[in-house]
Amino acid sequence: MCGIIGVENNDSAAVLTAAGLLTLQHRGEESAGITISGKEKMKTFKEMGLVSRIFNEETLNKLPGTAAIGHVRYTTSAKSSLTNAQPFQINCIHGNIAVAHNGNITNFFKIKHMLLKKGAIFSHTSDTEILLHLIAMSKGNLANIVADSIRKLEGAFSLVILKDKTLIGARDEHGFRPLALGKLDNSYILSSESAAIEVIGGTYLRDIDPGEIIVIENGRIKKSFFYKKPKEQSTCIFEQVYFSRSDSIMFGKSVKEARIKMGEYLACQMKNVKADIVMPVPDTGYFAALGFSRTSNIMFENGFVRNHYVGRSFIKPSQNLRDLTAKLKLRPIKEVVNGKKIVLVDDSIVRGTTSKRLIDILREAGAKKIHFALSCPAIISSCYYGIDTPNKEHLIAANKSIEEMRKYLDLDSLTFLSLDNLVKACSCDNKKEKLFCTSCFTGKYPTKISKERI
Ligand code: SF4
């Protein structure tokens, strides 16, 4: 998963883009980059690590310009390295062009093979590189070049593309990954999440539609059109469950409201469970736990202290350091949990190892009963659209029954939100629309998944 942002027609483009990337940091912590243009020659600055470490006054002062795109990366399809960090900047027959991409291109190997046969040379392992080649080989004006290129792609992609003062946004025909449009004075902003638009002082206007390309220049929307007839919409429902910030509007619905609804529905599914407190696993379990508490009238308690300073790569959890890692990240407050019957609310179970450690430390702290409530159904299948879920053999729910999982996790009960309730919680106006990708819960995919490799 990644976060992307674009700002145009603004003398503070680099600073605003960096602030936007900080807001999108949860979408990718491995690398961050900004490409700037509009004043001097296009320039890209990217490094491995967190936005706050990479972009400071000194680095931002070296990025003069009026239009910028930015990217934070969490590796899904290619290895984590500076070579694969984005934005990608190319110099081709059309001049300097930069691209930042969120999603996974599912026909990547097929197109790469076709391009290799034509003599193309690849220097990255990222799927985004094929788009650069397609752009370089296309003819026409910038909008046509982009449309012609992405028409050949399948899978998930939300894109921000920069050339001189022109900012382009595009979303794949299914709309798997988000892309929001906002306005700040005389500038337009494109961002993976509306929260980043609002944090930098802008107003969220709308989402870019699936299949839409928008061309923005000098504070004006020059053009908006569909590069392909949109297919049945398949926006990633996991954005609402886990990835997005609670203060974002995702696919027309407040993420916070959707999470509260998930908790309310869970409470209805678990109405026979008796407990003293409802406790979230921070941070994503918070609003679902609140919804659960309001509906069940069971008291809401914060029973964990989260250490925000433990990075992803601080300790690779080897066997003997597992407990230390778990306790460093989350520590139960003994006074809250000791002797209590607890409804513990989390977003999901993937491998089951993190949940197991969490339950273990809660038991150590004296929890009497633990009823585990998950705000999405059991994940039984991998994601091919830009989320780093492991292969099926590592997904606990793909290999164990709910009762087997309950025993393995040492729980008193284990409840997953039903798919029906999840879709209701994420839909606008409680309408049950067929708008969402739910493939990781069903194993049924809305696109062909190519098994081809080179
Ligand atoms: Fe989202 Fe799951 Fe679909 Fe991937 S498979 S896009 S994580 S809903």
Alpha-carbon span 316 to 332, nearest angstrom = 22
Q: Whose CA is nearest to atom 2 of ligand 1?
A: 440
Q: Which residue among 2, 376, 426, 440 is the active-site one?
A: 2
Rounded to 5 degrees, what are φ and ψ at 453?
A: -135, 160
Determine the distance separating the centroid of ligand 1 and the alpha carbon of 148, expressed in angstroms.
Answer: 26
**The pLDDT of residue 125:** 82
Where the chain has pLDDT below 70, the residues are: 76-79, 311-323, 325-326, 430-434, 451-454
**The pLDDT of residue 430:** 54
Token pair for 180: 């929001």
Max CA pair span of the chain:
70
92 pairs with which residues across the strands? 95
Q: Which of 202, 227, 229 is nearest to 214 (CA)?
A: 227
Contact 172, 155 (CB under 8 A): yes
**The pLDDT of residue 449:** 80
Is 383 annotated as catalytic?
Answer: no
Q: Which helix (H) or strand (E) holds 5?
A: strand 2-7
Token pair for 225: 């059109």
Alpha-carbon span 80 to 239, nearest angstrom = 22
Q: Which of 189, 148, 151, 17 is nearest to 86 (CA)?
A: 17
Alpha-carbon span 247 to 14, nearest angstrom = 23
Ligand 1 proximal residues by C-beta, below 6 Å: 176, 236-238, 383, 385, 387, 437-440
Compute the residue count for the chain.
454
Pairing of strands 299-300, 277-280: parallel
Alpha-carbon span 142 to 361, nearest angstrom = 56
Per-residue pLDDT of 86-109, as tens digits, reads: 999 999 999 999 999 999 999 999
Determine the distance separating the centroid of ligand 1 and the alpha carbon of 378, expressed in angstroms.
Answer: 13
**The pLDDT of residue 314:** 46
Q: Which helix (H) or strand (E) holds 113?
A: helix 108-117
State pTM to two decimals. 0.93
Determine the distance separating the centroid of ligand 1 and the alpha carbon of 386, expressed in angstroms.
Answer: 8
Pocket test for ligand 1, best of 235, 237, 392, 426 (most atoms within 8 A of CB): 237
* Identity at 259, one-letter amino acid code: R
- Name all contacts of 398-404 with Cβ < 8 Å and 24+ positions apart: 400/352, 402/378
**The pLDDT of residue 84:** 87
**The pLDDT of residue 309:** 79
Write the DSSP symbol of residue 84.
Answer: G
